[in-house]
Structure 1
Amino acid sequence: MSTKYRCPSCKTNRSRFNIIEQVVHAVKLDPQTGDIIEKYDHEADAGPLHTIYNGPERRVQCGTCGLIEEERTFAKYGEQ
């Protein structure tokens, strides 16, 4: 990972960031209690009514102002 970042909000930070790795867990919850009834090993096993997660694997937080966005947003500003 050798990508230059710059915060699109505070526009000055180019060095202090938190990299947030997103891990998806497909589950079925009890609607009354909120307890997990079932965990699925693969999202595809969750059935036809369960939408597969298609968001970013990684998000970035600015270590100065706290803004959290997709990694590509910080990378795009880092090119400038």
Structure 2
Amino acid sequence: MAEPYLCPNCKTNRSRFNLIQQVVTPVKIDSKSGDVLEQYQNNEEGPLHMPYRGPELRVQCATCGLIEDERMFIKRAQQQ
């Protein structure tokens, strides 16, 4: 279900936003060169690799440029 947004920073924008979908790629890199040594698939990261637990979607206000979690924009709209 769609929810209305209101920018928590500029407090005027209700209609112009950039939706940023975060795509997680778990990798192991070489500590000296920075080259990717291994790219993990299907939650096979191993015991020393914590899985990503952040939001899948972030929102950017197309008026002031603030980037935050979607819930921040939704909560601000609910307060008004």
Shift in Å, 1:3: 1.3
- Flag as ranges the 4+ runs of structure 1 deviating above 6 A: none
- The amino acid that maps onto 1:25 is T
The CA deviation string for residues 6-43 of structure 1, in whole angstroms up to 9 with x for no partner, is: 0000000000000000000000001111010000012x
- The amino acid that maps onto 1:21 is Q
- Find out whether 1:20 has 2:51 as its counterpart: no
Superposition CA RMSD, Å: 0.9
- The amino acid that maps onto 2:4 is K
Report how many residues are paired.
79
Counterpart residue number, 2:50: 51
- Find out whether 1:10 has 2:4 as its counterpart: no
- The amino acid that maps onto 2:32 is Q
- SS of 1:28 mapped into structure 2: strand
- SS of 2:20 mapped into structure 1: strand
Point out where structure 2 has 5 or more consecutive residues left out of the alignment: none
Identity fraction in percent: 59
The CA deviation string for residues 27-72 of structure 1, in whole angstroms up to 9 with x for no partner, is: 0001111010000012x31111001110001000000000000000
Q: TM-score, normalised to structure 1's length?
A: 0.94
Counterpart residue number, 1:64: 63
